[in-house]
Amino acid sequence: MSKKTDSAKTAGEKHAAPQDPTAWVRTFRETVESVAIAFILAFMFRTFEAEAFVIPTGSMAPTLQGRHKDIVCPECGYVYRVGASEEVDRETSVPKASCRMKTVTCPMCRYTMDVDNPQDPEEYPSYNGDRIIVNKFAYDLADPQRWDVVVFKYPEDAKENYIKRLIGLPGERIWLHNGDVYTAPLGSENFQIARKPPEKLAAIMQPVYDNDNVIPKLIQAGLPPRWQPWAAPASASPWKTSADFKSFQTEGASQPAWLRYQNILPDDNLWDDVKAGRPFHAPSPSLIKDFYAYNDGDFPDNCDSPPPAEVWVGDLALECTLTVKNTNGGVILELVKGGRQFRCHIDLASGLAKLSISGKPDFAPTAATAIRAPGTYQVRFSNVDEQLLLWINDMLVDFNAPTSYAPLNNTEAVVTAPVPGSEEATDLSPVGIAAEPGAVLDVSHLKIRRDVYYLSREDNVYPGNRLRSSIDLQADQFFMLGDNSPKSSDGRFWRSQNYVDRQLLIGKALFVYWPHSFNYLEIGDKKIPFPFWPNFSRMRFVH
């Protein structure tokens, strides 16, 4: 991998290196944070027993952040985080000078940049992990629920606390298959997929692409846009692209007009050519895989083990802002998995939404939606865990029939080359939006997200197949996995026992009350010094 250097700053300000003689600054900061924690806990204890914990590693990213760096991509402006736990000793928290992160890669534009500046070692500082409140009384009142985020004593060393997501319950047989979780009663082979509740799904899903971070200069230099009118030639499409390539408009068409997404990823060689002003060879569309920017920090040898090979992920979600300018025709949202087309058709006059799956004429749930008049709507459509879900303006739409479906034997990606104008279903063009005849629409803020993919022995991506694919849970035994599947030490790996006994459960994670703070207050383009300014935007309930 070629390395790039850039002077862009992270979201946090520079602070003193560990060797800095002004150690009193850090001591003062820790004192202030401890006082803040004490006040928060005092109020929390009035209602229930609680305790504060610090997240040390990134096994639960992006739900919870361990020690990390905040990065702003200098090319596309995307803000992301990269795990930096390897930079400090796990036992003592003392920085390891020989294990400084060297480079990071943006998940949007795949630009690789240096983050280790010898002239300014703290240009890209590392921040401590999230501080969370844990309800230690929760499981005295009710049983743990699947998908809870739980703090527990590590079965192989009860002096150490771990935090993971609860996947398997007592009396179950758990099977990890094609990235999903399946359950069956003990002694049975009648496995059923375990579906994530909508509120959990929103927290777990990982970003694939945000078109607000498109880079016009790459497109103007010859890189095909990821979102484009799906016609041959593109100029024949009624969809018109904005000058910044971030939005699309159609004034009506005589036949359905499609926009489609292709996963076209720049690589280091392309970026080298762009920087040098040389012509480049545009990459072909690729499958969407379980790439985690959080795991992509490059460390010196022997400081970190690289994540395993990436695997195809077919469970996707589309988000966009839909501006409806008349009530003619309709709009179609489409997701493709394994060559199957999963669609949501919304009639713009009545607001009626209808779901469909290619090859399943009997699958046709319908629902009334808020899209019944010209206006702007936030839309999200997902195909995850063998279930279709639709949100309008962040409200889950209630259909008249189940939106789950039986297995479709679509677990292999269809990789035939996508042909503009063709409606052939291929996983190399897995997301689409269509305007029906007469519809006048604007589409913007296009985002694609993917489900977490739980790696198992069947994926054969870890050396020696150290993963477990199945486990039987007896009474008072629970199975835990991390949201950061490729880089989580969880029940798939533990040697002595791959479950957590009920007596080792500490409590349920409730709230991120203190993400790393900033030492400034940002107003417009100015940064006003303000020690320990809280990071309000990342304070949140844990789902």
Same domain as 275, residue 142:
no
Distances, alpha carbon 110 to alpha carbons 84, 250, 297, in Å:
19, 30, 12
pLDDT of residue 42: 54
Has residue 393 been placed in a domain?
Answer: yes
The DSSP line for 142-194 is S---TT-EEEEEETTEEEEEEEEEEEE-TTEEEEEETBEEEEEETT----EE-
Residue 17 pLDDT class (50, 70, 90 cuts): very low
- Predicted confidence (pLDDT) at residue 392 exceeds the cutoff of 60: yes
- Predicted confidence (pLDDT) at residue 35 exceeds the cutoff of 70: no
pLDDT in tens, 278-319: 999 999 999 999 999 999 999 998 888 888 999 999 999 999
Q: How far apart are CA 321 and CA 248, in angstroms?
A: 11
- Predicted confidence (pLDDT) at residue 236 exceeds the cutoff of 90: no
Average pLDDT over residues 259-273: 96
Residue 49 pLDDT class (50, 70, 90 cuts): low
CA triplet 146, 150, 154: central angle to 5 degrees? 120
Q: The domain containing residue 435 runs over which residues?
A: 207-290+316-450
Among residues 427, 450, 473, which one ends one of the domains? 450
Q: How far apart are CA 223 and CA 111, in angstroms?
A: 14
For residues 331 and 435, the answer to whether their CB atoms sit within 8 Å is yes
* pTM metric for this prediction: 0.89
| Tokens of residue 502, six digits | 């009920």
Domain CATH for 476: 2.10.109.10
pLDDT of residue 37: 67
Has residue 166 been placed in a domain?
Answer: yes
Among residues 407, 425, 450, which one ends one of the domains? 450
As a whole number of Å, the CA-based R_g of the chain is 24
Choose the weakest-confidence range: 98-102, 283-287, 520-524.
Answer: 520-524
Has residue 73 been placed in a domain?
Answer: no
Among residues 421, 450, 479, which one ends one of the domains? 450
For residues 56 and 90, the answer to whether their CB atoms sit within 8 Å is yes
Average pLDDT over residues 480-496: 94
Has residue 372 been placed in a domain?
Answer: yes
Residue 528 pLDDT class (50, 70, 90 cuts): confident
pLDDT of residue 462: 87
Same domain as 502, residue 415:
no
Phi, psi of 269 (to 5 degrees): -65, -40
Same domain as 416, residue 348:
yes
pLDDT in tens, 349-381: 999 999 999 999 999 999 999 998 999 999 999
Same domain as 482, residue 369:
no
- Predicted confidence (pLDDT) at residue 449 exceeds the cutoff of 60: yes
Residue 526 pLDDT class (50, 70, 90 cuts): confident
pLDDT of residue 10: 37
Q: Token pair 């997501």 is at which residue? A: 165
pLDDT in tens, 504-516: 999 999 999 999 8
Same domain as 376, residue 489:
no
Same domain as 362, residue 229:
yes
The DSSP line for 231-268 is SSSGGGSSEEE-TTSS-EEE---SS-EEEEE-B----H
pLDDT of residue 178: 96
Phi, psi of 273 (to 5 degrees): -65, -40
Average pLDDT over residues 64-81: 96
pLDDT of residue 302: 80
Has residue 82 been placed in a domain?
Answer: no
Report percent pLDDT > 90 for the chain.
73
For residues 239 and 229, the answer to whether their CB atoms sit within 8 Å is yes
For residues 163 and 151, the answer to whether their CB atoms sit within 8 Å is yes
Average pLDDT over residues 420-424: 88
Number of domains in the chain: 2
- What is the separation of C-alpha 219 from the centre of its chain, rounded to a whole number of angstroms? 25
pLDDT of residue 30: 60
Same domain as 505, residue 409:
no
pLDDT of residue 117: 86
pLDDT of residue 20: 45
- Predicted confidence (pLDDT) at residue 124 exceeds the cutoff of 80: yes
Average pLDDT over residues 6-26: 41
Residue 15 pLDDT class (50, 70, 90 cuts): very low
The enclosing H or E element of 344 equals: strand 340-347
Has residue 429 been placed in a domain?
Answer: yes
Average pLDDT over residues 379-396: 98
Residue 24 pLDDT class (50, 70, 90 cuts): low
- Predicted confidence (pLDDT) at residue 105 exceeds the cutoff of 80: yes
CA nearest neighbour of 162 among 499, 515, 474 = 499
Residue 8 pLDDT class (50, 70, 90 cuts): very low
> Residue 117, Cβ neighbours under 10 Å: how many?
13
Interacting residues of 55 by C-beta distance below 8 A, sequence separation 6+ = 64, 65, 66, 129, 130, 131, 132, 163
Residue 77 pLDDT class (50, 70, 90 cuts): very high
Q: What is the mean pLDDT of the chain?
A: 90
Has residue 405 been placed in a domain?
Answer: yes
Same domain as 418, residue 282:
yes
Residue 39 pLDDT class (50, 70, 90 cuts): low
pLDDT of residue 33: 65
Same domain as 391, residue 270:
yes
Same domain as 486, residue 377:
no
Has residue 430 been placed in a domain?
Answer: yes
Q: How far apart are CA 286 and CA 94, in angstroms?
A: 41
Interacting residues of 189 by C-beta distance below 8 A, sequence separation 6+ = none
Same domain as 386, residue 333:
yes
Secondary structure letter of residue 99 according to DSSP: G
Domain CATH for 242: 2.60.120.560
Average pLDDT over residues 81-97: 88
Which of 25-29, 115-119, 400-404 has the highest mean predicted lDDT (pLDDT)?
A: 400-404
- Predicted confidence (pLDDT) at residue 431 exceeds the cutoff of 60: yes
| Tokens of residue 530, six digits | 């303000």
Phi, psi of 237 (to 5 degrees): -80, 145
Same domain as 438, residue 345:
yes
When comparing pLDDT for 306 and 148, which is higher? Answer: 148
User: What are the start-end ranges of the E strands in 48-130?
Assistant: 50-54, 68-72, 79-83, 103-105, 112-114
Residue 421 pLDDT class (50, 70, 90 cuts): confident
pLDDT of residue 28: 60
